[in-house]
Amino acid sequence: MAAAVQSAVRKKGQSSCVHHNGKTVEFLCEKCNELACKKCVASCHRGHELTELDDIAEQQKIIMISFIDEVENNKLPNIKENICSVDKQIESTSEYFDTLGAKVQEQGVKMKHEIDVMIAESLSLYQKLKEDNIRLLTDYKQCLEDGHEGLKEQLHECKTQLQDASVIELHDAGHAFRTIALNLPDIPNLHTAVFEAPTHYRCYLEQALGTITTNALSECQRESIPQLPSPKRESTTATPVSGATALNRPAVTYTFLPQTSIMGKFQTNRIGNKICPTGSDEIWISYSDVLELLNKKGVMRRQFKFTVRITDISISPRTRNIWVCSDADSSIMECTQGAPSLRFHCKNKPICLCVTIGNQILVGMSQRVTKFSQQGKSLLRTQTQSSGRSLVRLPQKIAECRLTQNVAVVERQSYDANCKSQVLVMDKEFGELFRYRGDGQQAAGAVFDPWDVTFDNAGNLLIADCNNHSVLLVSSVGEFIRTVFTDERSTQAICLNKNHVLWAVFGDVVKRLQYYSA
C-alpha cells in the first residue's frame, strides 16, 4: 500500500511556491484555498478557479480600512463609555449599599434608644410601685405598733383594776373595756406587677428593624450557593413583591397537631361576650357591666364593676392594664390597680377597641376606625373610598398583628343589606389589604358569621365563626387554611395568651385549646 503523500505547508509570509522551487506565488486557488504559482496552473491546480493576488490584496485593504473605521469610531468609544458607566455603577452601588447600611444602623440606634427609654420607664414604674408599697407597709406597721402599745397599756390597766378596784369601779371598768375596739387595722391593698419576657421576640425585632429584600438570583447563581433545607411549614404566608425575594432569616414556623387538643375548660356564670389574655394563664372576661379576671380553672382573681355597659375590652401590650369602652356614655377607660379611670370621650359611640403595640388606642365606631393617643388625640382614621362609601361600615371587633401591625376588623352588620359579614384586613396606615367572607371553608353548615378575630404568632388570622360554632385559621393574605376547632355551642370570643394557647368562649363554657406545636 502506497504511503500517503503529505501536502507541503507554506509558512506565513513565504512568497515562494511550496510545489515549485524558485517560483513566486501569484494566484489564490479558490477551491483549495492555497497560493499557487504559474506552473501550478498547469499541474496541481489544473482546472481550478484562480484569482490574482493583486486583486485579493485590494479587497483585503478595503476590509481592513472598514475594520479600522468601525473600531476607531464605534467599538473603542463604546467600550470606553461602558467602562465609564461601570465605574459610575461601582460608585453608585457602593453609595447605595452604604446608605442602606447607614439606615440599618440608624434604625438600630433608634431601637436601642427606644429600648433604653422603655427600660427606664419600666424601672421608674417599678421604683414608684416599690416606694408606694413600702410607704403603705410602713404606715401599716406603724398602726400595728401603735395598736400594740395601746393594747399593752389597756391590758396593764385592766389587770391593775382587777386587783384593786371596788365593785362599782369594776362595773364601770368592765363596761369601758367592752367598748374598746380590738380590731386590727386593715391590710393595705398593695400594688402588684408582673414582668414576662416574650418567648418569640425575634420576629418583633426583625419587624422593628425593617425588611431587607434583594432581586431574584439567576439559576447559575442559585446553583453556586449551598442550599440549606427550609424549615417545615404547613401554613401560608404573605408573598414577596414581584421581582424581589425576602432575605433569608429564621422564620416563625409551626406544625399543626393532627387534632386540636383541649387543655382545660370551665363554665362561667354568664355568657362572656369579650375576652383578652393577661400574658399568663389568666384572662379578662366581660359580662355586660362586669369585668372579671379568671385563672385557667375559672376562679375569679379580680373584679371591676361599672355603672355603664361594656362594649369591648383590650389589654395594653406594654403596661398590661385593661382598657374598656362603653357606648352608653362614649367613654374610653383604663383599669389600673385601683378603680377604672376615664381617659377620654369619643364624639361617636365606641363599639370596639384595641390597644396597639405602640400603646395607642384603635376605636371602632359607625363608619370608621380611628387611632387615638392615650389622651384622646385623633392620630389617624379610615377614609372614604372612591365609590363614596366608607372603608369600614359597622366594626364589631378590632385586632392588631404584633408582627406586621396589620389591623383586622370584624363587620357583622352593615347599613347595606347586601353586604355580607366579613373580616376586613388593613395595613397600619389603614390601607385595605383584603376582605375575608368565609371563602374556602370546608363543609360549612351555616352562613359565615364572624364574632371575634385575633392574630397568631405567624401573622395568620384566627376567626370565631359563631354560626358554625368554629374557630377558623386564615392566612395573612386571606386564604383559608383550616378549621381549628368546632364545638356544640356557638363561638362567642377568642384570644391567644403568651404561650399561644387559644382561649375560646363557646356559650357559657371557656376552653383552652392547643392546635399546633411550636
* Structure confidence by residue, pLDDT tens digits, 119-132: 888 888 888 888 88
Q: Which among 202, 83, 91, 189 has a CA at the least distance from the CA of 137?
A: 189
Q: How confident is the model at residue 362 (pLDDT cuts 50, 70, 90)?
A: very high
Asked if pLDDT for residue 243 goes beyond 60, the answer is: no
Name the range with the highest mean pLDDT among 51-55, 72-76, 419-423. 72-76
Ranges of H-type helices in 192-328: 202-209, 219-224
Asked if pLDDT for residue 408 goes beyond 50, the answer is: yes
User: Which region among 102-116, 190-204, 230-244, 410-424 has the lowest average model confidence (pLDDT)?
Assistant: 230-244
What pLDDT, on the 0 to 100 scale, is given for residue 247? 41
For the segment 207-222, what is each residue's pLDDT rounded down to a tens digit? 677 766 665 444 443 4
User: Which region among 85-94, 152-161, 409-418 has the lowest average model confidence (pLDDT)?
Assistant: 409-418
Q: How confident is the model at residue 145 (pLDDT cuts 50, 70, 90)?
A: confident
CB-neighbour burial class of residue 329 (10 A; exposed 0-12, middle 13-18, buried 19+): middle
Long-range contacts of residues 146-150, Cβ cutoff 8 Å, at least 24 apart: 147/184, 147/185
Terminal alpha carbon distance of the chain = 85
Note the pTM of the prediction, 2 decimals. 0.56
Q: How confident is the model at residue 235 (pLDDT cuts 50, 70, 90)?
A: very low
According to DSSP, residue 462 is labeled: E
What pLDDT, on the 0 to 100 scale, is given for residue 164? 74
CB-neighbour burial class of residue 132 (10 A; exposed 0-12, middle 13-18, buried 19+): middle
How much of the chain, in percent, has pLDDT values that exceed 70? 82
Asked if pLDDT for residue 25 goes beyond 90, the answer is: no
Q: Which residue has the cell 404547613?
A: 234
Strand extents, DSSP E, 68-178? none
What pLDDT, on the 0 to 100 scale, is given for residue 20? 84
Mean pLDDT of 232-238: 37
Letter for the amino acid at 386?
A: S
What pLDDT, on the 0 to 100 scale, is given for residue 225? 35
Asked if pLDDT for residue 6 goes beyond 60, the answer is: no
